[in-house]
Chain A
Amino acid sequence: MIEWMANMLNVPIYALNAGLSAIILGVVSGVLGSFIVLRKMSLMGDALSHAVLPGVAISYILGINLLLGASIFGLLAAVLIQFITNRSTIKSDTSIGIILSSFFALGIVLITFAHSGLDLTHILFGNILAVPKSELLQSFIIMLIVIAVVSLFYKELLISSFDPVVSKAYGLKTNFYHYLLMMLLSVVTVSSLSQVGIVLVIAMLVIPAATSYLWTNKLLHMIILASVYGAACGVAGVLISFTYNLPTSATIVLVGVTGFGISFIISPKNNFFKKGLKVH
């Protein structure tokens, strides 16, 4: 099917693969990223995307599915961060910093130890031009799963993000939804490894969602716009990087942040000119 589409559009197969995976990544990170941004978990998202590295290495060593190993380590990191924050007076940004760097370090050691065909640079920065067809399919399925989970639990995710206190008061298991999102985040991180790599996943999660936030007053609109914008940045980034021979993942991120910068200045909601400097 990919071959047929490539013929129709008259582009090389690897280029079409790159474009499609950029679209998938944009959509999935727009959906998930909206919740990450609204729940003030950008830093947490960054931590989780780094924390999956040991999971990737161990899965490779043991020959199990990457998604499984990575999800376990992602959830483990989320639990540990919560544990340190709850059981001490250490603030959550510090516990995030500790877990992020130590998991990442462990991952690097494990990968080196494995002497494997695992290419660290590839995992860290991705290579969207070398996405195999199997991974493309996997990303697509994960996208469908994420959209399905978010649609099914939409009202619970909305209320636990918007008003956690009232959610708890009426008996909603807010912790469950926290870990559900952490789990999806780990899975998405892994599925986007080949596209943008660990280091830049967080950019895809945060930038389209934050840009969309500046233009919308409804959660559903924010999610849709973030997905469309994420996908558009992906395609534009791929095209620009092809044309000017630039690293693709970095180009996608820079395209995204340009739109954010423009939105920051001209969005009526942000009201940059009238507001001037925020006085706290």
Chain B
Amino acid sequence: MIQVRNLNVDYFGNSALQQLDIDIPLGYSVGIIGPNGAGKSTFIKALLGVIPRRSGTILVNGTDISQVKKDIAYVPQKSDVDLTFPITVRDTVLTGTYPKLRLFRRPGKKEKEHVERCMEMVDIRDLAHKQISNLSGGQLQRVFIARALAQQASIFFLDEPFVGIDLVSERIIVDLLKKLRKEGKTILVVHHDLHEVEEYFDKTIILNKKLIAFGDVDTTFTSHNIQSAYGASLGNVQIKGLGGVQA
């Protein structure tokens, strides 16, 4: 269980998240949805301590999250990474093994073989020697997913993994996430739109600065909750699995 208690986050002096209390059970795939600026990315960054929290405690199975961070693989948005860095695809994936290597220890044969398998799983082995700025959006996202796999974590945080990628890449990533979920991993995904929510996730967290709703997709992902999160900004749209949303 990931227990979030009394989480408040400020962003440049403005309140980005207010008074969040959620108990996320482990072993599910969870979609975090909400309108732009709702604090979805802020939420996972605050959990990981990448941005400071004004208040709040985060426990993973009763242990403070700072003690178990090596067991959480984080896939940030592409814009957070320096793509011009002199690093190849293979070496990027290899950095995924760093969190669990001790200080002064370099990745050895075992880690390198594992990296090959991770690249295989998202079908990027033929790109292994390329510098990462020479990849398409979808290929790059698969590299970051492979890096997360290389970490051998039990919890995965992904920030908008499906933005700006091709259909083949999306399919590969979705299938992989489902496979991880079957292996009992916990997957938190910031999701940028309201499509495919039912297909991709077991549970949803609906956010707009505050927690609007959290629970199983069937009971949480309702037109009422979406309406409260998005308000008038949604307008009159049809969303698969949602029925009609009337503004």
Contacts and interface: CB of A to CB of B under 8 A. Distances in A.
A162 interface: yes
Contacts of B76: 163, 165-166, 169
A154 B87 CA distance: 14
Interface stretch (A132-140, A193-201, A218-226): A218-226
Interface string A213-252: 1001111011000000000000000000000000000000
Interface string B188-208: 000000000000000000000
Interface string A130-170: 00000000000000000000001111101101110110111
Contact of B74 (A169, A216, A217): A169
Contact of B103 (A156, A159, A171, A213): A156
A166 to B, nearest CB: 6
Nearest to B71: A170
A155 B101 contact: yes
A222 B85 CA distance: 11
B91 interface: yes
A38 interface: yes
A222 B86 contact: yes
B50 interface: yes
**A contact residues, range:** 20 to 34
Contacts of A219: 85-87, 91
B66 interface: yes
B152 interface: no
Main SS at interface, chain A: helix
B143 to A, nearest CB: 12
B231 interface: no
A172 B49 CA distance: 11
B167 interface: no
Contact of B86 (A152, A153, A163, A216): A216
B234 to A, nearest CB: 30
Interface in B78-107: 80-82, 85-88, 91-92, 95, 98-99, 101, 103-104, 106-107
A162 B48 contact: no
A166 B153 CA distance: 14
Nearest to B157: A169
B86 A171 contact: no
Contacts, number: 82
B134 to A, nearest CB: 9
B70 to A, nearest CB: 6
Contacts of B92: 162
Contact of A213 (B69, B80, B86, B88): B86
A183 B157 CA distance: 34
B81 A170 contact: no
B72 interface: yes
A163 B95 contact: yes
A168 B86 CA distance: 20
Contact of A158 (B69, B74, B95): B95
Given A166-B76, A217-B86, A219-B86, A152 B66 contact: no
B19 interface: no
B151 to A, nearest CB: 8
A171 B66 contact: yes
B131 interface: yes
Contacts of A171: 49, 66, 69-70, 99
B74 A38 contact: no
Given A155-B106, A168-B50, A171-B66, A162 B87 contact: yes
Given A168-B49, A169-B74, A171-B69, A162 B88 contact: no
A165 B81 contact: yes
B131 A217 contact: yes
A215 B131 CA distance: 12
Interface in B9-52: 45, 48-50
14 contacts: A38-B86, A152-B104, A155-B95, A158-B87, A162-B81, A162-B85, A163-B82, A163-B95, A169-B74, A171-B49, A172-B99, A217-B86, A219-B85, A269-B131
Given A38-B85, A156-B103, A161-B85, 9 more contacts: A38-B82, A38-B86, A159-B95, A165-B50, A165-B76, A168-B48, A170-B74, A171-B49, A217-B88
